Structure 1
Amino acid sequence: MRRRAIPRAKSTKSGSGTNSSSLSLAAYELIRAQIQDGRVGPGDRVMEDEIARQLNASRTPVRDAMRRLEAEGFLVHESHRGMVIPRLDHQMIMELYEMWIVLEAEAARLVARHASDAEVEMLDELVKASRVEVKTSEDMANHNRRFHKALYNATHNRYLLKSVGVLMDSLNILSHTTFTIDDRLTRAQDEHQAIVDAIRTRDVDAAAAASRAHTEASFRARLKLLARMES
C-alpha cells in the first residue's frame, strides 16, 4: 500500500523561546491542518520521524501530539503500519450525515430566531462574494467553511457550537471535497442563498428546511464521490 508523506512545513527552530509544549502544539496543528485540507486522507500513514524532521524537533513532542490526535479520532493505530488516518465505513458516514442534517437544520432555525441584522447581512455578503471569488472546488470548500462558521456563530448557542465541533472533526477525516461532483459548486451557492433568504425573513421553519435541503444535497454528493473513488 502506498505511503503518502505529509508535505513539509516551515521549520520551527529549537531555542530558549521554544519548549516541548509549543512544539507538541505545532505538530498537532500541522497534522490536523493537512487532514482538513485533504492533503492526507483515509488510510495514509503519518510518520512520527517525518513530522519531527519538518519541525526540527525531537520525537517526544510529536509523539504527544499524535496521542492527542488519536484520542480525538483523527488517527488510529494499525498493526504493522503505525498511525494512519482512519477510514470511515459506509455505515459510519450514514450515521454522521444523519446527525449533521439535524444539527444544520437546528442551527439555521436558531439563527433565524437570534441573529442580529448585522450577522444576517454578513451571511448574505459571504454568499455574494462567493459568486465573484470562487473559481475552483478548493475555493468553494474554503468559502463553505467560512459561511458555515459564520452561521454557527450567529446561533448564539455555545452547546450547539460544541456539538458541531465534534461532527466537524469527523467530516474533516473524509477529506476530498464534494464540490468536484457535477454542478455541486453552483448549486451549493444557491442553497446558501436560500438559507440566508429564509433567515432574513425570520421564518424559522423555512430556514430549517433550506438548511436541511442543503445538507441532504451534500450527502448525496458525498455518496457519489465515494462511489467514484471506489471505482
Structure 2
Amino acid sequence: MRASDKAYEQIRDEILDGAISPGTLLGEVEQSERLGVSRTPIREAFARLAADGLAVQQRGRGTVVTDVSLDHVEDLFELRTALEVQAARLAAARVSSEQADTFISLAARFRAASHVEAGFVPTDYYQLASSLDTAIDEAVHNDYLANALRGLRTHLARVRRLAQDNPERLAASSNEHALIAESIAKGSPQLAEAATLVHLSQSLQHIQHQQHPRQAAAV
C-alpha cells in the first residue's frame, strides 16, 4: 500500500470513528510525524479527504476537519433512498446462487443480532451492516452505483454518531436488514425495494427523534 493511501485511510477512519473531532486542524508536520510518513503523502491524503467532504483547506489555517450536523439529514436521506432502493432492486434481480447463499447467511446473523439480551454492541452491528453493503455492491455489478454509494456512506457514518446508539433501535434495524437480505436472496426486486424503504423510513424517523425528541414524541 502506498504511503498516501495508508495515511488517507487511517485519518479517514479516525474522522469517521470520532477519534478526530470536527474542527480539528490537521497539521502536515504533526500528521507526518504521527503516521511515520513524509509530508508529500500527507498532502495527498489531505486532498483526498477534502474531495470526500471530510476536510476543507482554509486559507491561513490549513486543512480542517469539516463539521457534521443533522440539519441536512433529510437531504441526505433523499439521495440515500434513491441509491439504496435502486441497488437493492438490482441486487435482487442479478443475484447469483452463490451470492444468494451469502445473503441468507447475513440474514441469519442479523436475526441473531436482533436479540438485545445477546449483548450485541454497535460496533458489531455496523460491521455486519458493512458486510451487507459489500454484498449488495457485488451483486449489483455496477461500478458507478457502487462508487456513489461509497461516497454517501462516508457521510452517513458521521451522521450516525450524532444520532446516538439505541439498543432497541439497533435490534429493530437488524431485523430490517435481515428482511432486505432475505428479499435479495429470493431474487425479488419488489420485496427488496419495499424492505429497503421500510428500513430507511424507520432510520430517518429515529434520527429525527434524536434531533427533536419532544416534537417527535408528540407525533
TM-score (norm 2): 0.81
Of all paired residues, the percent bearing the same amino acid is: 28
Paired residue type of 1:92:
H
Paired residue type of 1:162:
N
**SS, match of residue 52 in structure 1:** helix
Shift of 1:139: 1.2
Shift of 1:141: 1.2
Paired residue type of 1:68:
R
Residue 18 of structure 2: aligned partner: 38
**SS, match of residue 180 in structure 1:** coil
Paired residue type of 1:135:
F
Does 2:76 align with 1:96? yes
Cα distance in structure 2, aligned partners of 1:108 and 1:192? 11
Residue 195 of structure 2: aligned partner: 210
Checking the alignment, whether the CA contact within 8 Å between 1:42 and 1:87 is kept in structure 2 is yes
Paired residue type of 2:86:
E
**SS, match of residue 40 in structure 1:** coil
Shift of 1:215: 1.7
Checking the alignment, whether the CA contact within 8 Å between 1:188 and 1:214 is kept in structure 2 is yes
Cα distance in structure 1, aligned partners of 2:91 and 2:119? 25
**SS, match of residue 84 in structure 1:** strand
Shift of 1:226: 4.3
Paired residue type of 2:203:
S
Change (3 A) 1:164 1:122: same
Give the unaligned 5+ runs of structure 1. 1-20
Shift of 1:227: 5.0
**SS, match of residue 76 in structure 1:** strand
Residue 70 of structure 1: aligned partner: 50
Shift of 1:208: 0.2
Equivalent of residue 185 in structure 2, options 163, 176, 200 = 200
Shift of 1:125: 0.7
Paired residue type of 1:95:
D
Does 2:6 align with 1:23? no
Residue 221 of structure 1: aligned partner: 206
Change (3 A) 1:191 1:183: same
Change (3 A) 1:141 1:225: farther
Shift of 1:79: 6.2
**SS, match of residue 24 in structure 1:** helix
- RMSD of aligned residue pairs (Cα, Å): 2.6
Cα distance in structure 2, aligned partners of 1:71 and 1:32? 12
Change (3 A) 1:225 1:48: farther
Structure with more of its chain in helix, by fraction: 2
Shift of 1:211: 0.6
Does 2:104 align with 1:124? yes
Count of aligned positions: 208
Residues 30-179 of structure 1 mapped to structure 2, 5 A cutoff: 30-78=10-58, 82-130=62-110, 131=112, 135-174=120-159, 176=161, 178=163
